[in-house]
Amino acid sequence: MPGPRRCFATPKALRQLNPGLLCALLRKFPEYLEARQLDLPADPLPDTLDYEAIQAACMGRDVPVELDDVLSHVSILGTAAGWERIQAEARAQKKELTVTAAKLTFADRAMQAWLWDWPHNITLLEESYARARIHARSSYVYFPPLMDVRALYQSPTAAKLAEMRQELDTYFVCEGLGKGTSLVRFEFEKEIWFLIRYPGRWKRQMAIDEGGGVQRLTFKPQEYDAVVYHKEYGDLRMNTLRVSDRTRYRILFGRSLLNSINVFAPAARAISLEPLKGECLPLFHCEDIPGLAEIAPVEVAYHTAADQGRLVIWRADKQTTLLSTNRLAPLLVPSDTDTVRHAVFRYRLRNKTKYEALTVHQGNTLTYERDGDSVVMEAWLRSRNFVKNDLVSSGTPSG
């Protein structure tokens, strides 16, 4: 099944689910069941369920948004890794998740987690998926603040989040994408993260049904954007599929978090590679960065003042870095370098054995191989002045 509801896509898939949990989930949407004329037995057993009718209801284009969300997240999280995500999210929220796992598939466990303490727990599946999804974002565009309004920050209330979600839903409807927008927040000491889910364009794909026949499937894929506000530095960064959405996010999050509409610069260069010019080798000493074991450049691209039209790229061989072959110490690039266009760094965290890569472009884009490391790497980037911030560098107080 190419769409997100694969656990409910065919009668065969439905028969793999616990019939009691399946019916308990569907009964939470009585109006839809009535519209579908779908009558579920009081004591559901595999022999008493009309799986063809249930499959048609679950895969219909008129499925309510809330039910669509549950079916999608059960399908996505109905694996061993998905169950670990659900349990981890429950622990993070200090919830004692009571689930009877005996003889249940992972999709059954996901349904039972959604039904647990209903309706107070109905966001757990979405938040379980969202936390993992937001850490999968790898490339961020930075928007520095135009003024210091950090003292105006207020964590959005549930009512404010609902208002933000409604505004985004209206926006994406006007963009021709339809309803179904959700907004999930994760708040930390220095940052607040948002995952925005919205419907993509209709897609059509051919699939093979149980009898070997060809079936045309039409669905809207879920698309995701991530927006992060840094409370200490006052800047906004985002990962978006559509460039046109960045302006909407800048305005919405500036107004909602800081009561200021035009607080984030739309096209400012927030990322600088100027620190790599001159005597820069001390930048790679990382004893002062908690969690960072080592970091070194493996690729650098630059222009010299004498030859502006030629881009020079130095790239280290595998398993080595530019530091191990550097003949310009204490410099990294020639003294007549005019502009460093991009650089790739290889780093390793103290609790890891594997090396990861960080790509930095002059302008306003950072690309991580693994965004879960971004908190540690941002500490290094900001302390070395790769991420420019006039508010902090000038000593402007935040409160």
pLDDT attached to residue 308: 84
The DSSP-derived string for 336-386 is TEEEEEEEEEEEEETT-SS-EEEEEETBTEEEES-GGGHHHHHHHHHHTTS
Exposure letters 29-63 (e unless 16+ CB within 10 A, then b): beebbeebebebeeebeeeebebeebbebbbeeeb
pLDDT attached to residue 136: 57
One-letter amino acid at 139 equals S
Residue percentage of the chain with pLDDT more than 70: 86
Model confidence at 4, pLDDT cuts 50, 70, 90, reads low
Give the global pTM: 0.67
pLDDT attached to residue 227: 93
pLDDT attached to residue 391: 61
User: What average pLDDT does this structure show over 283-300?
Assistant: 96
Model confidence at 133, pLDDT cuts 50, 70, 90, reads low
Residue of 214 and 35 predicted with greater confidence = 35
Contact 258, 251 (CB under 8 A): no
pLDDT attached to residue 399: 37
Question: And the tokens for 73?
Answer: 């997240």
Query: Residues 234-290: pLDDT tens digits?
Result: 999 998 888 889 999 999 999 999 998 889 988 767 889 999 999 999 999 999 999
pLDDT attached to residue 265: 87
Q: Average pLDDT, whole number, for the chain? A: 85
pLDDT attached to residue 396: 41
Residue of 213 and 149 predicted with greater confidence = 149
Residue percentage of the chain with pLDDT more than 90: 47
pLDDT attached to residue 300: 97
User: What average pLDDT does this structure show over 198-202?
Assistant: 70
Lowest mean pLDDT among 23-32, 350-359, 361-370: 361-370
pLDDT attached to residue 201: 59
Model confidence at 395, pLDDT cuts 50, 70, 90, reads very low
Highest mean pLDDT among 109-118, 127-136, 272-281: 272-281
* pLDDT at 1 > cutoff 50: no
pLDDT attached to residue 114: 93
pLDDT attached to residue 204: 57
State the Cα–Cα distance between residues 159 and 3, nearest whole angstrom.
32
